[in-house]
Structure 1
């Protein structure tokens, strides 16, 4: 009887642990992610970060982006991470893509979060319509999500 209860308890704890470890999907290929946003009719969130050196970026990741609240919220948007690391290697293609988007959005500091709506044109090109931007917001996931939702609600 003890073995059965112990087995059931371990199974239960393992299932809870595996559920909480589900990750948020961050895309690094902006073009593919934008195509997905068009296909799924979703808005896009660009996260400009210095993942291995920017203290506020790391804080935003830890306090907001790695929470269950954010994970649940993020199903409504396509997430694109544009990283500018100092110690982590990147391909030349990713560096070029990230630099082009940094210039396009006028990002001068990190973290920067830009929300856009994507429209596919008849010629196959895409238009990005800025909905708003934010960065680190004090107060944890609820405060950050409040700001993000206010930006997205303006677009409706």
Structure 2
């Protein structure tokens, strides 16, 4: 009987672990390691400002260093249109849920800086005016204030 109960509990636990979203994992990691979360809504294959944002900020060493330095967890909620770039149904569902919660207006690109509880600390609508260095400095400054 103990074996059956143990197997059942293990199965339920396994389902729960796999059901966790990227955002849930990012929140837990942010809480455990005192990080912030950068959530970016983009249309990677149709939104020109989104493409520029990724090229000029997200894909830079300055931004990547924020993750390396344990300042942020980065999540990209992408909404591609081209058939060849389509996401898995699970990823589409997760991105839609994030959009419902954080991007009701459907802005692209739209970037949010969140604490580990999901509270919005800062938002950027459209392509930020700052370069990568200034963008990252702003995040670091907010991180230092939250410490």
TM-score normalised by L of structure 1:
0.67
Q: 1:132 aligns with which of 116, 122, 125?
A: 122
Find the aligned partners of 1:150 and 1:90 in 2 and give their Cα distance. Answer: 34
Correspondence 1:2-151 to 2 at 5 A? 29-75=22-68, 76-87=71-82, 88-105=85-102, 106-119=104-117, 128-135=118-125, 136-151=127-142
Q: How much has 1:152 moved relative to structure 2?
A: 4.2
Structure 2 contact 37–75 (Cα < 8 Å) conserved: yes
1:107–1:147: structure 2 CA closer, same or farther, 3 Å change rule? Answer: farther
Structure 1 contact 43–78 (Cα < 8 Å) conserved: yes
When you count strand as a share of all residues, which structure comes out higher? 1
| Total equivalences in the alignment | 121
Find the aligned partners of 2:28 and 2:66 in 1 and give their Cα distance. Answer: 21
TM-score normalised by L of structure 2:
0.71
When you count helix as a share of all residues, which structure comes out higher? 2
Q: How much has 1:38 moved relative to structure 2?
A: 2.2
Find the aligned partners of 1:112 and 1:151 in 2 and give their Cα distance. Answer: 18
Q: Which runs of 5+ in 2 are unaligned?
A: 1-20
1:103–1:130: structure 2 CA closer, same or farther, 3 Å change rule? Answer: same
Higher relative CO (Cα under 8 Å, sequence separation at least 6) belongs to 2
Q: Larger Cα Rg: Structure 1 or Structure 2?
A: 1
